[in-house]
A and B are shown apart, each in its own frame.
Chain A
Amino acid sequence: MQQIDLSRISVTEGNRLLRSLAEHEEVIEIINPDARHHIGVGLTTPVTVKIRGSAGYFCAGLSDGARFEVDSNVGWGLGDNIYAGTVVVGGNAGAIAGVAIRGAEIIVKGNIGSRSGQVMKAGTLLCCGNANFMAGYMMYGGRIIILGESGERVGEDMTGGDIYVAGKINSLGSDAQMTDLPAAELDGIREFLDRHEIAFSGSFRKIVNAGKKLRYGGVEPQVRPLPFFTFSDHADYWNPKVQEDIQIKALIGRYRIRGYGTARALPHISDLAFRRKIRPEAIEADVVGKVRMQTEIGGINGASPLKLTMPVMVAPMSYGALSASTKRAIGMASTLSGIAENTGEGGMSDAQRGAATQLIFQCLGGRLGWNIHDMKRANGLEIYISQGAKPGLGGQLMAKKVTPELARIRGIPAGIDLRSPSRHPDILGADDLVIKVQEFREATDYRLPVSVKLGAGRVRDDVKIAVKDGFDFIELDGMQGSTGAGSSEVIEYVGIPTLAAICEAIDALNEIGARDKVQLVLMGGLRDGIDAVKSLCLGADAVAFGTSAIIAGGCIACMQCHVGQCVTGIATQDPAHEARYKAETEARNIHRFFESVRWQIAAITRALGHDDVRQLGRTDLVALTPEAAAITGLPYEPEQQDAADAIAIRAN
């Protein structure tokens, strides 16, 4: 038996040693664990690890197939997202034991902290003592067995799975109910206890989801959108859109839902102009070869960066909101154009991985589709805090789109109106995030960039925290960013415009002298190479296109993404509708869109007198509107606007 002594080496070195020893050892002993965090994180070899003492946060997290035996206690996040294997804890476990597990058997001989089994998908979590409040919070599947007391609000907002309690049930959580316990299930519990040599002869009561909150009541009438100028600009106060909203809400008794981003005009990056007159007719045909555009994102802390052939990426969009074919087409296009694609919330399919050469894997609070194996085959990891379209809200996927296949990848029951948690189980504050980021780095041996997706709100504060948390880059998403489904009021009135977001972010970084400590990728309502160059001038390191890429691939902007029967086969999981989407054809179209963007970036950069996109700066810009001038601090030079007004209507 090999020993790893954590009093002599760091956890990172210890984990590396553990992985290499596991290749040929059967049992490995870790001594002097000293309750340190991340012990055993990312181990995917079938080996037994005996931890002689107490472990800290995320012990055995993101592992698959190993057996961990901890003599004493563990901190929070025990067995985080574990796929398969066994964890036995001799003492107590902190909060969120068994969080987001996708299989495995976790046995805690003592008590467990609050929110145990939060968002778990499968497997068994056994607590031999008492559980603290909200055990099984938002769980999607699997079972929790509690031999002692349940704690308050057990099964709070659980969607699926079973909770068995032998001791006192202190109180039931929202949307949880007691139900009969079939004999076969009781036999299964007994078998589990016997197998793990736990003597217990008491009886159990079973708690399951009560089914009151899984689906929205009433059906929102599907109405195609009014043209935006009927409810914005100089429109009446009680305009047709206001009236339509009221009429529909009076029918359904809840907020309306739709797809896409803000509908009305907001201050936009297109309210800026270039200081120099761009003369398209004078641009060289081979301008792309004359401007350096290669951009590396994510390498500033030593990870292997994303290598972009231009400062452009694809914005995160999920398989779920979008059809598998659409994700494949976008992936192919990203490969053809030499840029990075992003999985969004919905997990990573083989098709997506195969199509995109560079793929960022996104982790959300519901941990839908999140797992160690896809982490390892990703090119970047991203923690979603919020998105520009609906910051503060979790992802929303209406039941029509939650097909069995999709549910399988996400690890959730099919056919529910999925409203993803808006908060991570293990991130309640900025300091938690530091430890979470480290867990991801440990799991992938510091090889991959770790980024954060932030919807723009209090950007000035949020960006400073993101720097402190050690992210390699920030994907900053203004309120013009789109969504597949969200509350229309939140889409319209929560968050700040993309233009303001980048300005606040750069200000904040400069304030703390940290501009070189993190990279910024800007997104939210950007549509072409002109928007991209202006973003770069304002300080972004790269930009991302989401909706524009979808439109390039055939989306007609009918804003009915949430309904799930997308007429073009993009925002749907209905096979008959998806069959309408020709992935190869659209991949080529999306690719050509990106190549148009590339040409525009090169053309403008060159016309501004530069030969490298890194030379772009604020001095290349002026503001055309008082708002844009006030937001950016750029000189207000509306003369350019006046000259353009005569023909502006054409571009409208």
Chain B
Amino acid sequence: MSENVYTLDRILGSEAPPEYHDDVNAGHYLPAPCQVACPVGTDAPSYLAYIWEEKWPEAFEAITATNPFSSICGRVCDAPCEPACRRAQSDGPVAIRNLKRIVMDRLGADFRPAPHPVTRKETVGVVGAGPAGLTAAHDLAVAGFEVHVYEATDRPGGMMAWGIPAFRLPQRVMQQDMDRLFQKCPGIRLHLNCSLGADVTLAGLKDRHDAVLLTLGAFHGKPMGIPGEAGNARVVDGVSFLRRINSGERPTLPGTVVVIGGGDVAMDACRSALRMPGCSTVKVIYRRGPDEIPARKDELHGAIAEKVEFVYQTQQEAIEDTGNGLVLHCVSTRMGDPDPKDGRRRPEVVPGSRHGIDCGMVIAAVGQETVSEHLGGIGLMDRDRVATDWETMRTRDPKVFAAGDGAFGGSTIVMAMSHGQRAAYYVRQFLDGIRDPLPYHTPHRTRRVKICSDIMWERYPRHEQAFHGLGENPAAFPEIESPYDVATARAEAARCYRCDAETGSEDYSVGHREDIFSMARTSPLDVAKKRAMLERRLVPRPNPFEEGRPATLDDLVFLPANLSRLVIDPYREACRADTDLGGRMDVPNPLFVGGFDRAPEQIFRAVAAGAGSAGAIYVGVRAPGVGVGWLQLLNDAGGTPSAEASGIIFDAGTGANACARVRDGQVLGVRICRAADVGSIVPLALEIGCDMVLLDGAGNQGGDWPELKAPPQLTLLCETIALLRRMKREEHIDIVWSGGVRSGTDAAKLIAMGAKAVIYGVAVAIAVGGEIGAGGTMRFTSQRSHEENAKAVENLLRAHLGEATMMARCTGKTRLHNLEPEDLRSITLASSAATGIPLTGTAA
């Protein structure tokens, strides 16, 4: 796991200017390591999740939000996100870069973003149309400024255009990004072939614009500084060589070409040389070993796969021109002590190791520099860079800012882009007249995309793109890799851990988890981090049980048997659930089904069949059919009591005289929907010899699926029980509960509180594919067969019976109906007050 994510900044958090799109303080989110590692803060977890969902436009938005060169980055980004990926330590990082490519390939070419008009009167001059300059121009244009970009060459892109060969980055791909940029930012005015010093002067730009940003790049290759180099046409620098190639030339090269250096320019140069006519052998000379070579591993492996030779631990000393070729005189090296400055081990010369390498051409890719006599003349240069203060991005001239390679030395595209963003921020603050701006930090956003549920996510290996190498016609620069197909892309995207997303556990939320990660990556000696972490950890959580929270079944827990009661093995030992209703009806278990009288006919039939298979009673107006127990519900609209029914339940409003069995042995019941009716109806029910009361906790709210309208009113149950206790008639009438029963656990709680049986309505509807809509509606759109639906009902009821009896066994009961209120505790005061069940931990 990348340790550099766990810096003090991550612990401290940071204050962001209000105009930021920054979600780090929004809760339930912390930027993932990949997002932190991305210099432009790309919301990679979100776009990976969108890819899995095949939501290409959404993925596109997530990618392009902070990155105007997304197509380019999808191919040639240095991808610091990938080594930071937590899965890198496991079975290889998620291929974040390649996944970006497939999104851009699918949507990029024709996509036209909405333009951001110019809204500000101030204008900004930007010198250099490379990644830093254009990114800054983008941010400033989006903020409403008119931005004039002055580019010395004939095309925008800087090193993206001139430094990267087309086999890695086809011209059309770059053009797509440029087209989108200028479409989105009509306020950007591009002035090509306009060189600072020759065509414009800094003074002129300062006159013309309210601020100037210098993003000159590092366009010139550094010399090696060895004898025989200067003035030899067979010795060129890497960037000049690549510039020739990218301008379209395909020069015939000698048979053997030597490239000196181990960076990305060296990789592009060696691979380009190998594709040129005449060249058969390319050797890369690098003064350290294969473990130290700084080139991105993909490119290194690509070069090796294309048969570029790597000569490690070798340092050039001189070049000798033999007339028809060159001899590169070298010495061998070995790794010495670490450099105190950068910690890298220094190569030492092996005595007596001088040797020569014959070749026809030497390409020196040993670094780049910025050259500007114009700026040097006015004192803005510091050796080969524009003197720039990182904290403000200002040069020595207060109206002039600088960024990118020209200000801070050669780096990557994405780093140059982040410089552009940073510079744009400070330029904007300057133009807004803010003298002491909040320090810039890369904003981090999340789109809170659902975590994908691909069952193979833990097992998929990293997928690589198909590699084609040189191709049949190398000089035509066919693309070296082809993108994933959609299935592969989805599988690769599914590998994401989703470090950004909230977990399923309040105790180990993403915030807690990341704090623990931080604590585990803090040196015992790092007191500053320890203090900061303590400060952060001392902040209490908001009260999860705010005032006004209603009483709910969720706030009740069961007390398990341990030592003071004998444990019943829930995996094996029996727990009886057989239920005697009113002394008149024996049913296998107390889990009933009801509420489907007005459901679509095929749903009603499937529910009845499933209930019958599970031994469940149907409670309702309609008869469920042969083989299924039926408690007939007579609603307030009346209805005729049926002799077929095992029991008849009258509405509370029915007159006492009308409440009667139509045959002997039927269960007689009355339905109560409001707590206010309990005091009058319950005594009446006892008086007329009812066997049961149906307590409808969902209330008589009219319409279908009343359970969806509001949580069940537990007071109805509690008041009924309390009244029966006061009357000492608890044993004389059974309570059947309806309303908000979602699980076997809910059923067990209601039974412990005094219900004899419970009725599932909405839960069963969901089991048969019911979808809850707005306003408490239920839609059945599933195309499942009658058998499948009936099986689903049976399965749900069996699962719930398993859960209910598991609860009973955990409390030490061998009979579900032996559960009692004393087996419960409340975890909130509100639920305790409403149910009379003591708060946990208190001396009850």
CA distance A503 to B842 in the complex (A): 8
Most buried by B among A251, A252, A460, A599: A599
CB distance from B12 to the nearest CB of A (A): 10
Using Cβ atoms and an 8 Å threshold, which residues of chain B touch A647?
539
The closest CB in chain B to the CB of A592 belongs to B520
Most buried by A among B521, B542, B810: B810
Is the CB–CB distance between B502 and A227 below 8 Å? yes
Interface residues of B in 762-790 (CB under 8 A from A): 762-763, 766-768, 772
Interface presence of A5 (CB below 8 A): no
Using Cβ atoms and an 8 Å threshold, which residues of chain B touch A392?
560-562, 567-568, 570, 809-812
CB distance from A116 to the nearest CB of B (A): 18
Interface 0/1 of A483-525, CB less than 8 Å to B: 0000101101111110111011001000000000000000001
CA distance A83 to B572 in the complex (A): 27
Interface presence of A21 (CB below 8 A): no
CB distance from B98 to the nearest CB of A (A): 20
Using Cβ atoms and an 8 Å threshold, which residues of chain A touch B711?
237
CB distance from A419 to the nearest CB of B (A): 4
Is the CB–CB distance between B827 and A504 below 8 Å? no
Is the CB–CB distance between B796 and A556 below 8 Å? no
Is the CB–CB distance between A596 and B543 below 8 Å? no
From A489, A558, A645, contact of B497 by CB (8 A): A558
Interface residues of B in 456-504 (CB under 8 A from A): 457-459, 497-499, 501-504
Is the CB–CB distance between B809 and A499 below 8 Å? no
The closest CB in chain A to the CB of B523 belongs to A592
How extensive is the interface on chain B, given as a class?
35 or more
Is the CB–CB distance between B531 and A281 below 8 Å? yes
CA distance A237 to B549 in the complex (A): 13
Most buried by B among A213, A499, A580: A580
- Of the stretches B22-30, B153-161, B644-652, the one at the interface is B22-30
- Of the stretches A120-128, A192-200, A427-435, the one at the interface is A427-435
Is the CB–CB distance between B566 and A423 below 8 Å? yes
Is the CB–CB distance between A251 and B509 below 8 Å? no
Interface presence of A536 (CB below 8 A): no
Is the CB–CB distance between B829 and A626 below 8 Å? yes
Most buried by B among A253, A429, A632: A253
Is the CB–CB distance between A624 and B502 below 8 Å? no
Interface presence of B680 (CB below 8 A): no
Interface 0/1 of B719-743, CB less than 8 Å to A: 0000000000000000000001011
Interface presence of B508 (CB below 8 A): yes
Interface residues of A in 404-455 (CB under 8 A from B): 419, 421-423, 428-430, 433, 454-455
Interface 0/1 of B533-573, CB less than 8 Å to A: 11111111111110000001010111111111111111110
Interface presence of A627 (CB below 8 A): yes
CA distance A489 to B766 in the complex (A): 19
Interface presence of B340 (CB below 8 A): no
Interface presence of B13 (CB below 8 A): yes
Using Cβ atoms and an 8 Å threshold, which residues of chain B touch A423?
566-567, 569
Interface 0/1 of A230-255, CB less than 8 Å to B: 00110001100011011101111111
Is the CB–CB distance between B517 and A630 below 8 Å? no
Interface residues of A in 578-605 (CB under 8 A from B): 580, 582, 585, 589-590, 592-593, 595-597, 599-600, 603-604
Is the CB–CB distance between B90 and A568 below 8 Å? yes
Is the CB–CB distance between B557 and A650 below 8 Å? no
Interface 0/1 of B503-533, CB less than 8 Å to A: 1111111111101110111111001001111
Using Cβ atoms and an 8 Å threshold, which residues of chain B touch A454?
562-563
CA distance A262 to B572 in the complex (A): 24
Dominant SS among interface residues on chain B: loop
Say whether, besides A582-B89, A645-B542, A527 and B452 are in contact (CB < 8 Å).
no
CA distance A179 to B184 in the complex (A): 79
Say whether, besides A556-B86, A592-B522, A422 and B798 are in contact (CB < 8 Å).
no
Is the CB–CB distance between A433 and B563 below 8 Å? yes
From B530, B794, B800, B806, contact of A599 by CB (8 A): B530
Using Cβ atoms and an 8 Å threshold, which residues of chain A touch B25?
649-650
The closest CB in chain A to the CB of B811 belongs to A392
Is the CB–CB distance between A499 and B841 below 8 Å? yes
How extensive is the interface on chain A, given as a class?
35 or more
Is the CB–CB distance between A254 and B566 below 8 Å? no
Say whether, besides A559-B505, A593-B519, A645-B542, A504 and B524 are in contact (CB < 8 Å).
no
- Of the stretches A74-82, A139-147, A216-224, A291-299, the one at the interface is A216-224
Is the CB–CB distance between A283 and B840 below 8 Å? no
Using Cβ atoms and an 8 Å threshold, which residues of chain B touch A577?
458
Say whether, besides A232-B506, A596-B533, A624-B540, A419 and B807 are in contact (CB < 8 Å).
no
Say whether, besides A226-B504, A249-B795, A487-B803, A394 and B571 are in contact (CB < 8 Å).
yes
Interface presence of A178 (CB below 8 A): no
Using Cβ atoms and an 8 Å threshold, which residues of chain B touch A589?
520-521
Interface presence of A261 (CB below 8 A): yes
Say whether, besides A228-B505, A249-B800, A627-B545, A385 and B515 are in contact (CB < 8 Å).
no
Is the CB–CB distance between B543 and A560 below 8 Å? no
The closest CB in chain A to the CB of B538 belongs to A278
Is the CB–CB distance between B540 and A644 below 8 Å? yes
Interface residues of B in 746-774 (CB under 8 A from A): 749, 762-763, 766-768, 772
From B89, B499, B536, B543, contact of A650 by CB (8 A): B536
Task: Give how many A-B residue pairs fall within 8 Å (CB-CB).
Answer: 399
Say whether, besides A249-B796, A461-B564, A227 and B28 are in contact (CB < 8 Å).
yes
Using Cβ atoms and an 8 Å threshold, which residues of chain A touch B1?
554
CA distance A245 to B796 in the complex (A): 10
From B523, B532, B536, B557, contact of A651 by CB (8 A): B536
Interface 0/1 of A470-482, CB less than 8 Å to B: 0000000001100
Is the CB–CB distance between A557 and B503 below 8 Å? yes
CA distance A221 to B665 in the complex (A): 45
Interface 0/1 of A274-305, CB less than 8 Å to B: 00001011010100000000000000000000
Using Cβ atoms and an 8 Å threshold, which residues of chain B touch A252?
795, 799
Using Cβ atoms and an 8 Å threshold, which residues of chain A touch B569?
394, 421-423
CA distance A577 to B461 in the complex (A): 11
Is the CB–CB distance between A595 and B524 below 8 Å? yes
Using Cβ atoms and an 8 Å threshold, which residues of chain B touch A528?
515-516, 519, 537
Using Cβ atoms and an 8 Å threshold, which residues of chain B touch A308?
none
Is the CB–CB distance between B557 and A493 below 8 Å? yes
Interface presence of B226 (CB below 8 A): no
Most buried by A among B503, B506, B542, B742: B506
Is the CB–CB distance between A552 and B519 below 8 Å? yes
CA distance A377 to B708 in the complex (A): 59
CA distance A528 to B27 in the complex (A): 20
Most buried by A among B504, B506, B766, B811: B504
CB distance from A473 to the nearest CB of B (A): 15
CB distance from B316 to the nearest CB of A (A): 38
Interface presence of B745 (CB below 8 A): yes
Is the CB–CB distance between B541 and A527 below 8 Å? no
Interface presence of A168 (CB below 8 A): no
The closest CB in chain A to the CB of B503 belongs to A557
- 4 closest cross-chain pairs (CB), A and B: A225-B504, A500-B841, A392-B810, A391-B560
Please name 29 pairs of A and B residues whose Cβ atoms are closer than 8 Å in the assembled complex, sorted by A. A157-B572, A228-B509, A237-B742, A250-B796, A252-B795, A262-B506, A264-B554, A265-B541, A386-B560, A386-B567, A392-B562, A392-B567, A421-B571, A422-B571, A457-B559, A462-B564, A490-B810, A493-B557, A493-B749, A493-B807, A527-B507, A529-B534, A556-B513, A566-B458, A593-B516, A627-B827, A631-B841, A648-B541, A651-B536
Residues of A within 8 A of B (CB): 138, 157, 174, 213, 221-229, 232-233, 237-238, 242-243, 245-247, 249-255, 260-268, 270-271, 273, 278, 280-281, 283, 285, 385-386, 391-394, 419, 421-423, 428-430, 433, 454-455, 457-458, 460-462, 465-466, 469, 479-480, 487, 489-490, 492-497, 499-501, 503-504, 507, 525, 527-530, 547-548, 551-554, 556-560, 563, 565-569, 577, 580, 582, 585, 589-590, 592-593, 595-597, 599-600, 603-604, 624-627, 630-632, 638, 640-641, 644-645, 647-652
